Chains A and B, each alone.
Chain A
């Protein structure tokens, strides 16, 4: 299994500012992902964080708005840039395990409120 921690757990930010969310995994993992969960909605994949190269973004998400870093196999950051109230969501880090079950593990999430 993989244990994932995220910082901060929650934050309240002013519009126009940026917030960087950190994701730390207790073991080296190949594949790491960032998801967004808007209020009352399901999870939406933002991007795959690639170690040593640029992240792969899903349709509707762009690097300028959600820059991602992945400096090594246990750590990644997601920045939410130039925030607006529509960015108020829970942001979740996720990693793919290496077991036969190929289960995906999720962090506890970062609850972001933009005023």
Chain B
């Protein structure tokens, strides 16, 4: 599985935007970029995913570099509830039900200050 690199930790103030970076220089053409987060004492939850184009949903935005070797998860206005470990994961997809495994790295611990 292709590897991702994330900062160990980041801090933000409430209601400010947060940009969480992820490097994935060995990404292959069939790898999708997925982001999950794990709130304290809970299982991980899906945040967003993309392939080449930038993506937006109600939780966040995903900005993908043109060469796909890096991406950034953007939380537009951080809240205290956004304090979590954020995982950037590459997941292969070969069509149909041929999904690659979801392999978690160490992630980025996001602290949000009131």
Contacts and interface: CB of A to CB of B under 8 A. Distances in A.
Q: Is the interface of B mostly helix, strand, loop or mixed?
A: loop
Contacts of A104: 36, 44, 46, 102
Interface stretch (B17-25, B61-69, B71-79, B93-101): B93-101
B103 interface: yes
Main secondary structure of the interface of A (DSSP, over half): strand
A101 B43 contact: no
A102 B87 contact: no
B56 interface: no
Contacts of B106: 42
Interface residues of A, number: 23
A92 B87 CA distance: 16
Contacts of A101: 46, 49
Contacts of B103: 45
A26 interface: no
A42 B46 contact: no
Nearest to A103: B46
Interface of A: 4, 30-31, 33, 35, 42-45, 48, 58, 92, 94, 96, 101-109
